Amino acid sequence: MIALITGSAGLIGSQSALFFHNKGYDVIGIDNDMRAYFFGKDASTDDSKKALEEDLAQYTHYDIDIRNLNDLEPIFKQYGEKIKIIIHTAAQPSHDWAMKEPITDFTVNAVGTMNLLELTRLNCPKATFIFTSTNKVYGDRPNFSYYDKAPDLEYKSMMIHEEEKRYEAYFTGKQLASIDEKMSIDNCKHSIFGASKVAADVMVQEYGKYFGMNTAVFRGGCLTGPNHAGAELHGFLSYLVKCIITDKHYTIFGYKGKQVRDNIHSWDLVNMFWEFHAAPRQGEVYNAGGGRDNSTSILEAIDSINRIAGTNWTNFSLSEDNRVGDHIWYISDLDKFKDHYPNWDITIDLEETLKQMVEFEKAKNA
């Protein structure tokens, strides 16, 4: 059995490689370290790649660009139907970086995904295909949205309120809100990155529904963990931990630092992949974050990291300019996935995740 993983040296890719290797799969990793091109040498995944090659006996690495169909095709032809699952995590992942090179962003995120889908269809059509999408496919709609929370309810207004250290969202009647898969992705501002991920997201759905393939889209909240090579333009929680431990300056872009995200540990996300793989469906979409219990604003995260690390870091500044199309508030509703796969739940809470990240960063800088 083979698990083919793109972006295999990144946070979710490397967690997937370890997870499936431990389940008895041979792992084929595809990663050409474009992260270093996107974010600089400090964000390189080269050390992670070397660790996978050293630690996993049944791991084979290919330094291939997913935009190049001719380079990908021989791998799929060689392994064919031995490939039981494709976990596609390779991406240009930054909201901000995408506007610098929109064509690079689109070809990596959309064309790369199309290449992988078609090669899967032609060579291992019964395999499970996992795509790591993003909550950015909803664009800025969560900032001002009305949408149908459930089939048996009328349309419910979601209102965002400013509180002391966070924004919070409520449905009508003061019910705390979360974002489910019924929220429209149309007629809103996505950012260039969000739009390229929409293209890939919809195509993954289509290959499942049109060709009957076992495809799933996981629209991640903030994906994080101790192995995350956070950079200023991507991976806010990891980069914030790094700044606090090394006393580096951090700029908060807009919303007074009260913007909210839910955070899911890489282990729990990959375990979602495993549950889906065990009982796959065709063209499904799941919101995949940490949920309300694992949500935090930037200001709250600073307080939490300072407490855990025993620091009193205040080396940050507030910019009035928010990122274009950015969410003021986002918390994933996990009910659909839990309904389909009741054995799954969050196992690593935000407190433990931050402890792991602080310990990792302290060890790295000892």
CB neighbours of 273 closer than 8 A, spacing ≥ 6? 16, 19, 85, 87, 130, 218
Asked if the model's pLDDT at residue 148 lies above 80, the reply is no
For the chain, the 3-state helix, strand and coil shares in percent, each to the nearest 5, are 45, 20, 35
Domain boundaries, the chain: 2-364
Query: In the 8-state DSSP scheme, what is residue 109?
Result: I
- pLDDT attached to residue 233: 61
**In which residue are the tokens 């997913």 written?**
66
Asked if the model's pLDDT at residue 331 lies above 90, the reply is yes
Q: Are 273 and 16 in contact (CB under 8 A)?
A: yes
Mean pLDDT within 291-317: 97
- pLDDT attached to residue 12: 96
Locate 316 and state its tokens.
């940050």
Asked if the model's pLDDT at residue 231 lies above 80, the reply is no
Rounded-to-integer distance, Cα 82 and Cα 26, Å:
10
Residue 174 confidence class, pLDDT cut points 50, 70, 90: confident
Mean pLDDT within 175-194: 91
**In which residue are the tokens 């494709």 written?**
86
- Closest of 29, 23, 36 to residue 50, by C-alpha: 29
| % the chain with pLDDT above 70 | 94
Residue 123 confidence class, pLDDT cut points 50, 70, 90: very high
Q: Which amino acid is at 256?
A: K
CA atoms within 13 A on the CB side of 153: 11
Mean pLDDT within 23-33: 98
- pLDDT attached to residue 152: 43
Residue 145 confidence class, pLDDT cut points 50, 70, 90: low
Asked if the model's pLDDT at residue 151 lies above 60, the reply is no
Instruction: Name the average pLDDT for the chain.
Output: 93
Mean pLDDT within 281-307: 97
Asked if the model's pLDDT at residue 332 lies above 90, the reply is yes
Strand pairing class (156-162; 146-147): antiparallel
Distances (CA, A) of 22 to 15, 55, 58, 195: 11, 11, 10, 35
Mean pLDDT within 26-39: 96
Strands (E) in the chain, as ranges, are 2-6, 26-30, 59-62, 83-88, 128-134, 146-147, 156-162, 167-171, 175-176, 214-220, 222-224, 250-253, 260-265, 284-288, 295-297, 316-319
Report pLDDT digits (tens) over 63-110. Answer: 999 999 999 999 999 999 999 999 999 999 998 899 999 999 999 999
Residue 150 confidence class, pLDDT cut points 50, 70, 90: very low
| % the chain with pLDDT above 90 | 82
Q: How many residues does the chain have?
A: 366
Rounded-to-integer distance, Cα 321 and Cα 324, Å:
9
- Residue 267 sits at the vertex; the CA angle it makes with 149 and 90, to the nearest 5 degrees, is 85
Taking the alpha carbons at both ends of the chain, their separation in whole angstroms is: 40
- Closest of 182, 295, 297 to residue 240, by C-alpha: 297
- CATH architecture of the domain 2-364 equals 3-Layer(aba) Sandwich (3.40)
Report pLDDT digits (tens) over 98-109. Answer: 999 999 999 999
Residue 143 confidence class, pLDDT cut points 50, 70, 90: confident
- pLDDT attached to residue 154: 44
Asked if the model's pLDDT at residue 357 lies above 90, the reply is yes
Rounded-to-integer distance, Cα 273 and Cα 217, Å:
10
Rounded-to-integer distance, Cα 139 and Cα 66, Å:
25
